[in-house]
Amino acid sequence: MESVKTILVTGGAGFIGSAVVRHLIQQTDCIVVNLDKLTYAGNTESLVEVADHDNYHFERVDICDAFAVDRVLSQYQPDAIMHLAAESHVDRSIDGSAEFIQTNIVGTHVLLEAARTYWKELDAHKQAHFRFHHVSTDEVYGDLDFGDALFTEQTAYEPSSPYSASKASSDHLVRAWHRTYGFPVVISNCSNNYGPYQFPEKLIPLMILNILQGKALPVYGKGDQVRDWLYVDDHARALVKVMLQGKLGETYNIGGHNEMTNLEVIETICDIMDELKPDLPAGNNSRELITHITDRPGHDLRYAIDASKIKNDLSWVPSETFSSGIRKTIHWYLDNPTWWQRVQDGSYQGQRLGLGV
């Protein structure tokens, strides 16, 4: 898909979306239109590196607003859409599912219909090269027992939480639009991401910041849940590969080849923090902050992705091991206190009033 010039990225102020935007602006000559509603998880301060670039444009738009989406498509005439806008926190979905249904299902439907109408009106050349890349999660597959085979692109869907059920629904919508209307789509499902600019409610940044502040490190149950960890910049590279080179109608699983229990992840963070910051509140033994709490409802035991298809078909493999990626991540949080402090005290939300980037 060499003709791609303008990419519309939904959710481009979020954790993964901002990594994709930064990659596109810094590593390609594409024009990038970032469409984001700026919910609590959207942070334009994650885009300061590219905000002044001539090829970067920001539109504060809700994907559920069909009129606004139509306007953006008409104004910028994108050659591809990368759809990352989503509510994505499992605990929040358990406490209140309505936002997840609205954004992840209804919003995806609105976007699909707007994009399909736009696509049908393109000239033959642009229509032939247009594509819609839907970015999803491995959580749609449910979970695995220890010893089970890895998730593949053929694994049946069995979501466990309101979040994963809403993402599974959006995946089905995208596939249906491809089969029913011939709409040109590709889908990717990724494992757990981590890295710079991740919202502090997520496991890894939460642990790093709690250690810095001498707070308890909450661990659900025994902490024996297994996840495959993918460094966010590796994921961004993979997503651009899928968008540019993926075969229409196909799904690509993106994994980090780093299966670890939650407790192992937390203990690793503790040990690196003790090494890098010997003056921490817990002294030189941050593991003492680990506190086991009641497990959450329906907590999936194990996620593990077989990423051989994207390796074989698109020549993508992750660059970071968990050992290298977690060190980069910890260093970033230690070196960028202003970013996470503004998230923690809420001042980053001044962007909603036009005070941010």
pLDDT, residue 351, reads: 53
pLDDT, residue 3, reads: 53
Alpha carbons within 13 A on the beta-carbon side of 291: 10
Return the C-alpha torsion angle 148, 151, 154, 155, nearest 10.
60
pLDDT, residue 257, reads: 87
Is 157 designated active site?
no
Contact 218, 262 (CB under 8 A): no
For β-strands 226-231 and 259-261, DSSP reports them as antiparallel
Is 139 designated active site?
yes
Choose among 293, 163, 165: nearest CA to 219.
293
Catalytic residue among 36, 62, 139, 171: 139
Contact 273, 289 (CB under 8 A): no
Sheet with strand 185-190: strands edge to edge = 56-60, 31-36, 6-10, 80-83, 131-137, 185-190, 251-254
3-state secondary structure of 56: strand
Averaged pLDDT in 10-residue chunks for the chain of 357 residues: 80 97 97 95 94 97 98 98 89 86 96 98 96 96 88 94 94 98 98 95 95 95 92 98 98 94 97 93 90 82 92 97 97 97 88 40
Catalytic residue among 62, 138, 171, 306: 138
Strand partners, 290: 217
* Residue whose token pair is 């075969």: 247
Is 163 designated active site?
yes
Strand partners, 302: 226
- Domains, the chain, with CATH or none: 6-198+229-263+298-322 (3.40.50.720)
pLDDT, residue 4, reads: 61
pLDDT, residue 88, reads: 76
d(Cα 156, Cα 176) in Å, to the nearest integer? 16
- Amino acid at the residue 348: Y
d(Cα 230, Cα 305) in Å, to the nearest integer? 10
pLDDT, residue 355, reads: 33
Choose among 33, 92, 88, 30: nearest CA to 232.
88
Instruction: Using the Cα atoms of residue 255, residue 261, residue 265 and residue 266 in order, give the sign of their dihedral.
Output: positive
d(Cα 243, Cα 2) in Å, to the nearest integer? 11
Contact 140, 155 (CB under 8 A): no
- Six-digit token string for 347: 């001042």
d(Cα 196, Cα 45) in Å, to the nearest integer? 12
Instruction: Using the Cα atoms of residue 68, residue 69, residue 74 and residue 75 in order, give the sign of their dihedral.
Output: positive
pLDDT, residue 108, reads: 98
**Reported pTM:** 0.94
Catalytic residue among 56, 118, 141, 163: 163
Q: How many CB atoms lie within 10 A of CB 293?
A: 11
For β-strands 56-60 and 192-194, DSSP reports them as unpaired
Contact 239, 189 (CB under 8 A): no
3-state secondary structure of 130: coil
Cβ neighbours for 215, distance < 8 A, ≥ 6 positions apart: 289
Choose among 264, 142, 265: nearest CA to 194.
265
- Six-digit token string for 245: 């080179």
Contact 130, 79 (CB under 8 A): yes
Alpha carbons within 13 A on the beta-carbon side of 83: 32
